[in-house]
Amino acid sequence: MKLVSFKGVPVVRGNVDSLPRKVLTFLEHDVELCQPAFIHICDGSDEENRLMLDILIAEGIVQPLPKYENCVLAHTDPRDVARVESKTFISTESQREAIPVPKPGVKGQLGNWMSPEDLDVAIKKRFPGCMKGRTLYLLAYCMGPMGSPLSKFGIQATDSAYVVACMRIMTRMGMQVLDAMGDSDFVRCLHSVGCPLPLKEPLRRDWPCNPDLTLIAHKTATNEVMSFGSGYGGNSLLGKKCFSLRIGSAIARREGWLAEHMLIVGVTNPEGVKRYLVAAFPSQCGKTNLAMLTASLPGYKVECVGDDIAWMRFDEKGQLRAINPENGFFGVCPGTNNKTNPIAMETIQRNTVFTNVAKTSDGGVFWEGLEEDLPKGVSITSWLGEENWQPGSERPAAHPNSRFCVPACQCPTIDPNWEDPAGVPIDAIIFGGRRPVGVPLVYESLNWQHGVFVGATVSSEATTAAEYSGHEVMHDPFSSRPFLSYNAGNYIGHWLEMEKPGCKMPKIFHVNWFRRDSKGKFLWPGFGDNIRVLDWILRRCSDEKEDIAQMSPVGFIPKKGSINMEGLENPVDWNELFDLPKDFWMTEVDNIEKYLTDQINEDLPPEMLKEIQDLRQRFSQY
């Protein structure tokens, strides 16, 4: 069979002539720059997916997992295991558009900027000829439900079949998207693992990547992402953090909506009343667990719309509505088990790509937290290939950031409205973090402006492990610090501007599941018992005004006994959970003030200075 070619490059699958004009121009540019050996236009079919997995198996990048249905396991080069914030850049004409200018002598922590000129140089150093000998896969995808006015299109060119397989899970991808796109605009994403053939040096663990030259660059003005050198996670599945959060929030600012690092759930109470809420926690603080919560209170049901990202805008009636732009879950494996998240465990039995977890001799997977589920007589090979790995070994069985990538529709508690093109109505916004001391289980902000302050001042204990270290609590505004794509001062300003006459502003809350007693023991059981806190929050959003809250210096806190504690396995210490130590909070206000004024400096909205003053004032009188 004679292959059709495009710009002299054979097209091994798909029909270039049927591509929308703008997509063709994009392809032409990428082909000329990257010089692939073949072009493959992805159709998103099952058959194509099988082909991708067969290629990956033949190349030694993934292996089948016969214990489950259609699941595979990938192991990366150990140097390519996580998002790399230090190599992630926003490129805008002026630096101040992208990041605030900190106070003199202060190192900025709110993103990395690159000038368009420097980015051009960086691109020229990396992309010309970077796909030599490889196939360029062209993916058309849609972030958000097909046909929703809130959804957006993307096109990604990539030379990684692993990325194709994962993007097919994480986004709506393929022919139906190309058909629906017509001449609509799309976010332009170019990705290369940075290993043209023939290789200059041998691959490690068969995983192509180029850690020395890794770069993830965003041009927010023109909706472009260029990612080089990494094949893993948010560095390469460009629909997720790069598009849905970084480019997404820049578009959202221009168009007057919000793109946030938030889960979305629907909660139905025993009376059958259902309300939706969104919650923002920093990475690895339990968003996926909360999104898939199994309620410990009888009669309550929690249904999942999304576990990581929410796109939200007010409709014509002034109701805030949210969609989940994603189509799958890219969740952290270690710690996930039948106690912490039985729903996730059920979800990942089929059609899942696991990455960097350990393998069992019966063709299954293993990670820290699954010890009790391990069948007798089974041996473990660690993610690094250590055979007969034993619990307690020096190195973990699975990488701490190992992941499952699975279609959302497989989740047994997926919300029936999760693909509603209109989005789901949001009544409450929750912020939170890991705060071992001083921060109560839950409080409600006094008003929208105070709620924005609560979001801007999110902090969380830096953790890669579950043990209590009592170490550094890091600021993470809106739980989005690694995903900010424009000046954090303007980000806060945009949130403030969302409050408009005619809009029903959701209430804003802060939760902390991670407070500890003086011996370092958690004060709150968490997991399924978090429904008790969600219940209080949603009662606060109800039109029936119950007498369940009281004013405190941080905001409204629950009146003693107003959170349903019936049936808790162990009693909790209410006073300790809601204690507001004055000395802690006076220091906290100083820290907040220093962080915001050091980092955001002249771009900090004055409303935040007023909130700092008011919080200090309330505590000084406490």
- Residues marked as catalytic: 285
In the bound complex, what is the minimum distance in angstroms from residue 293's beta carbon to Mn ion?
Answer: 17
Q: Which CB sits closer to ligand OXD, 260 or 308?
A: 308
- Choice from 30, 48, 224, 308 touching Mn ion (CB under 5 A): 308
Binding map of Mn ion across residues 145-174, x = CB under 5 A, - = no contact: ------------------------------
Site size toward ligand OXD (CB under 6 A) is: 5
Is 283 a residue that touches ligand OXD (CB under 6 A)? yes
Tokens encoding 179: 């058909």
- Binding partner selected for residue 399 from ligand OXD, Mn ion, none, CB under the kind-specific 5 to 8 Å limit: none
Binding map of ligand OXD across residues 551-590, x = CB under 6 A, - = no contact: ----------------------------------------
Distances (CA, A) of 9 to 31, 33, 92: 8, 13, 33
Identify residues 255-274 at the interface with ligand OXD (CB under 6 A).
none
Is 260 a residue that touches Mn ion (CB under 5 A)? no
d(CA 564, CA 562): 6
- Binding partner selected for residue 427 from ligand OXD, Mn ion, none, CB under the kind-specific 5 to 8 Å limit: none
Is 80 a residue that touches ligand OXD (CB under 6 A)? no
Tokens encoding 439: 């921060």
In the bound complex, what is the minimum distance in angstroms from residue 235's beta carbon to ligand OXD?
Answer: 10
In the bound complex, what is the minimum distance in angstroms from residue 155's beta carbon to ligand OXD?
Answer: 22
Contact at 8 Å (CB) between 14 and 45? no
d(CA 184, CA 176): 14
- Choice from 144, 234, 528, 605 touching ligand OXD (CB under 6 A): 234
Is 224 a residue that touches Mn ion (CB under 5 A)? no
Handedness of CA 458, 463, 467, 471 (dihedral sign): negative
Q: Which CB sits closer to ligand OXD, 269 or 352?
A: 352
The number of angstroms, rounded, from the C-alpha of 536 to the middle of its chain's C-alpha atoms is 26
Distances (CA, A) of 77 to 216, 217, 383, 396, 468: 18, 22, 10, 16, 30
- Binding partner selected for residue 234 from ligand OXD, Mn ion, none, CB under the kind-specific 5 to 8 Å limit: ligand OXD
Q: Which CB sits closer to Mn ion, 308 or 415?
A: 308
d(CA 287, CA 530): 12
Q: Would you give the DSSP letter of residue 173?
A: E
One-character DSSP codes across 275-287: EEEEEE--TTSSH
In the bound complex, what is the minimum distance in angstroms from residue 169's beta carbon to ligand OXD?
Answer: 14
Identify residues 431-490 at the interface with ligand OXD (CB under 6 A).
none
Tokens encoding 566: 């019936």
Sequence-distant (≥ 6) Cβ neighbours of residue 462 within 8 angstroms: 471, 472, 473, 474
What is the phi/psi pair of residue 287, to 5°?
A: -65, -45
- Binding partner selected for residue 423 from ligand OXD, Mn ion, none, CB under the kind-specific 5 to 8 Å limit: none
Q: Which CB sits closer to ligand OXD, 308 or 368?
A: 308
Contact at 8 Å (CB) between 166 and 326? no
In the bound complex, what is the minimum distance in angstroms from residue 326's beta carbon to ligand OXD?
Answer: 10
- Binding partner selected for residue 438 from Mn ion, ligand OXD, none, CB under the kind-specific 5 to 8 Å limit: none
Question: Which is nearest to 513 in space by CA: 619, 439, 420, 411?
Answer: 439
Contact at 8 Å (CB) between 274 and 299? no
Binding map of Mn ion across residues 42-71, x = CB under 5 A, - = no contact: ------------------------------
C-alpha angle with apex 53: 52 to 57, nearest 5 degrees? 120
Identify residues 324-363 at the interface with ligand OXD (CB under 6 A).
330
Q: Which CB sits closer to ligand OXD, 26 or 330?
A: 330
In the bound complex, what is the minimum distance in angstroms from residue 480's beta carbon to Mn ion?
Answer: 9
Q: Which CB sits closer to ligand OXD, 241 or 510?
A: 241
Q: Which CB sits closer to Mn ion, 161 or 264?
A: 264
One-character DSSP codes across 89-129: EEE-SSHHHHS--PPTTPPP-S--EE-HHHHHHHHHHHSTT
Q: Which residue is nearest to ligand OXD (CB)?
A: 283
C-alpha angle with apex 368: 366 to 369, nearest 5 degrees? 95
In the bound complex, what is the minimum distance in angstroms from residue 284's beta carbon to Mn ion?
Answer: 8
d(CA 77, CA 405): 18
In the bound complex, what is the minimum distance in angstroms from residue 307's beta carbon to ligand OXD?
Answer: 8
Q: Which CB sits closer to ligand OXD, 83 or 313?
A: 83
What is the phi/psi pair of residue 388, to 5°?
A: 50, 45
The 3-state DSSP class for residue 424 equals strand
d(CA 393, CA 380): 12
Which single residue is written with the structure tokens 């980092």? 599
In the bound complex, what is the minimum distance in angstroms from residue 423's beta carbon to Mn ion?
Answer: 20
d(CA 446, CA 611): 11
What is the phi/psi pair of residue 88, to 5°?
A: -105, 125
- Binding partner selected for residue 532 from ligand OXD, Mn ion, none, CB under the kind-specific 5 to 8 Å limit: none
Identify residues 271-290 at the interface with Mn ion (CB under 5 A).
283
Is 308 a residue that touches ligand OXD (CB under 6 A)? yes
Total residue count of the chain as it appears in this document: 622
Site size toward Mn ion (CB under 5 A) is: 2
Q: Which CB sits closer to ligand OXD, 354 or 443?
A: 354
Q: Which residue is nearest to Mn ion (CB)?
A: 308
Binding site for ligand OXD (CB under 6 A): 83, 234, 283, 308, 330
Binding site for Mn ion (CB under 5 A): 283, 308
